[in-house]
Amino acid sequence: MQLLQSPASPFVRKVLVTLHETGQLDDVEMVDIATTPITPDPALISANPLGKIPALMRSDGPTLYDSRVICRFLDARAQAGLYPDSRVWDTLTLEATGDAIMEAAVLIVYEERFRPPEKVSMDWIEGQWAKVSRALDALGTRWMSHLHGRMDMGHIAIGCALGYLDFRHEARSWRTGRDTLAAWYAEFSQRPAMIATTPSG
């Protein structure tokens, strides 16, 4: 299998952490892709018509894309139990929350990076950050008991989302007023899979 990826992507990181945690890293060849929303890589488009990473190319079936699909496939392949039957809907909702934080945070980067300065909308940026802020507050009030339980895909998604906020939006100081969530992340970020996939650049 080949993973079309860019290590700066939080969605790619989620897949990489899953590969580490399920012992499948050696089964996948990493293929670096340089792509943007405006000029997507032709090789990526041929694998994923949406032109988005990550995309997992398989020899025995169609390319899988969207990190949630890929992670669910990898979990099933390894029978790792990252989507436990006993709390699968909670796990999926927590994963969706992490993905939504990542998406809003990435859209802020895109707005600042790919639009001409005179067309950058601060209202748009603040609207996206408001989504992030509400999700972080919800984690602290509704989800800490889950996050302190046995690790599942919800933990991985939230860990990668918080890591991306540190990576691209450090000045926003997401930890302020969220001591419990910050303490959880301080511990989770020390997992070998998280350390091995820390983005740079």
Encode pLDDT of 57-86 as tens digits: 998 999 999 999 999 999 999 999 999 999
pTM flag (> 0.85) = yes
Provide the residue ranges of all domains of the chain, joining segments of one domain with +: 2-78, 85-195
* Superfamily holding 2-78: Glutaredoxin (3.40.30.10)
User: pLDDT for 97-145, tens place per residue?
Assistant: 999 999 999 999 999 988 899 999 999 999 999 999 999 999 999 999 9
Pairing of strands 29-32, 2-5: parallel
Question: Looking at the domain 85-195, which fold is it?
Answer: Glutathione S-transferase Yfyf (Class Pi); Chain A, domain 2 (1.20.1050)
What is the full DSSP assignment across 123-189? HHHHHHHHHHHHHHHHIIIIIHHHHTSS--HHHHHHHHHHHHHHHH-GGG-TTTT-HHHHHHHHHHT
